[in-house]
């Protein structure tokens, strides 16, 4: 039990395929308690139904991560519900399709601002709002989700830039939060078929190429990401902060697929 008695807020569940949902399931499996947030009323019923399927009393709050007012409200509600927060999961990203697809040189300033605001700045927004509760924990831990920022993936475009900003923001937040004994890390997940992934054109090819490139010969599952998340959220990882941990079946270490170098 990696998270016995630990209280974790998970932001970014859209449906059953969401990485955030796999993280929530792993937290529960490891003995922790979970509260979920949903972005808006469009997603509310789906997220509440998921919550109900594991625990009828699981707290669910509305939270558009771009709203500091809503973030403060959720912090207030958690203060009443739990009084402390041991883990915060930021599993949120968005870029307008018309700015994501055509290529980075065609990204509008508005599209750039939206992508970096929602996909990177909101990590800081949520961490700031939850800090008073995280500081009360003996093992406060914040976790975000990124994707292999050291490389260029055609079609990932402005989202790749946003993820690079997210990773830098994660490291600076790690510095700010560290003296309060709150850790901040990121998981760089391999490609997984989710709602957000479907917005990236050619995602099917990323999955195919990824599994061909991978030393393990396959892609990762959301469950594998959830398991690593449970480790990073809990006291077993108490010495790890400011890191990007790759959960990608080794894909990121490879240049070209093995097939390309064999006759």
Residues that bind ligand 0WD (CB under 6 A): 12, 14, 18-20, 39, 43, 63-66, 91-94, 118, 145-147, 189, 191-192, 194-197
Q: Which is nearer to ligand 0WD, 164 or 197 (CB)?
A: 197
Phi and psi based region of residue 12 (left: phi greater than 0; alpha: psi -120 to 50; beta: remaining): left
Per-position DSSP letters for 39-95, written without gaps between them: SSHHHHHHHHHHHHHH-TT--EEE--TT-HHHHHHHHHHHHHHTS--SEEEE-----
Q: Which is nearer to ligand 0WD, 139 or 226 (CB)?
A: 226
Summarize the chain as % helix, strand, coil (round to 5): 50, 15, 35
Give the 3-state secondary structure of residue 7. Answer: strand
Tell me which residue of 143, 31, 15 sits closest to 87, measured CA to CA.
Answer: 143
Nearest distance, CB of residue 55 and ligand 0WD, angstroms = 20
Q: Which is nearer to ligand 0WD, 29 or 117 (CB)?
A: 117
Nearest distance, CB of residue 95 and ligand 0WD, angstroms = 9
Nearest distance, CB of residue 179 and ligand 0WD, angstroms = 27
Residue tagged active-site, from 38, 61, 147, 172: 147
**With contact defined as beta carbons under 8 Å apart, do 162 and 119 qualify?**
yes
Q: Which is nearer to ligand 0WD, 61 or 231 (CB)?
A: 61
- Give the contacts of 50 (CB within 8 A, at least 6 positions apart): 13, 15, 16, 21, 36
Q: What DSSP character marks residue 249?
A: T
CA distance linking residue 92 with residue 124, whole number of Å:
12
Residue tagged active-site, from 38, 121, 153, 156: 156
Tell me which residue of 89, 59, 90 sits closest to 230, measured CA to CA.
Answer: 89
Q: Which is nearer to ligand 0WD, 39 or 237 (CB)?
A: 39
Has 156 been annotated as catalytic?
yes
Nearest distance, CB of residue 205 and ligand 0WD, angstroms = 13
Nearest distance, CB of residue 167 and ligand 0WD, angstroms = 11
**With contact defined as beta carbons under 8 Å apart, do 227 and 22 qualify?**
no
Residues with active-site annotation: 147, 156
């Amino acid at each position: 039990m990696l998270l016995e008695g630990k209280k974790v807020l998970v932001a970014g569940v859209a449906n059953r395929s969401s990485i955030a949902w796999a993280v929530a399931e792993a937290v529960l499996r490891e003995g922790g308690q979970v509260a979920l947030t949903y972005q808006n009323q469009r997603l509310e019923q789906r997220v509440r139904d998921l919550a109900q399927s594991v625990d009828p009393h699981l707290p669910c709050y509305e939270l558009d991560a771009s709203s500091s007012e809503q973030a403060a409200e959720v912090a207030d509600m958690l203060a009443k519900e739990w009084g402390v927060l041991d883990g915060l999961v930021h599993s949120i990203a968005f870029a307008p399709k018309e700015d994501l697809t055509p290529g980075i040189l065609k990204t509008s300033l508005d599209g750039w601002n939206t992508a970096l605001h929602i996909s990177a700045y909101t990590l800081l927004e949520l961490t700031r709002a939850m800090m008073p509760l995280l500081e009360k924990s003996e093992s406060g831990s914040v976790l975000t989700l990124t994707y292999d920022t050291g490389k260029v993936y055609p079609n990932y475009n402005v989202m790749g830039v946003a993820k690079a900003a997210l990773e830098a923001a994660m490291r600076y937040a790690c510095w700010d939060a560290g003296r309060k004994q709150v850790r901040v890390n990121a998981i760089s997940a391999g490609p997984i078929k989710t709602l957000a992934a479907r917005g990236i054109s050619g995602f099917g090819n990323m999955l195919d190429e990824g599994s061909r490139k991978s030393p393990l010969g396959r892609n990762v599952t959301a469950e594998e990401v959830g398991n690593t998340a449970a480790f990073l959220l809990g006291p077993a990882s108490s010495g790890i902060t400011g890191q990007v941990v790759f959960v990608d079946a080794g894909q990121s270490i490879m240049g070209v697929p093995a097939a390309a170098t064999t006759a």
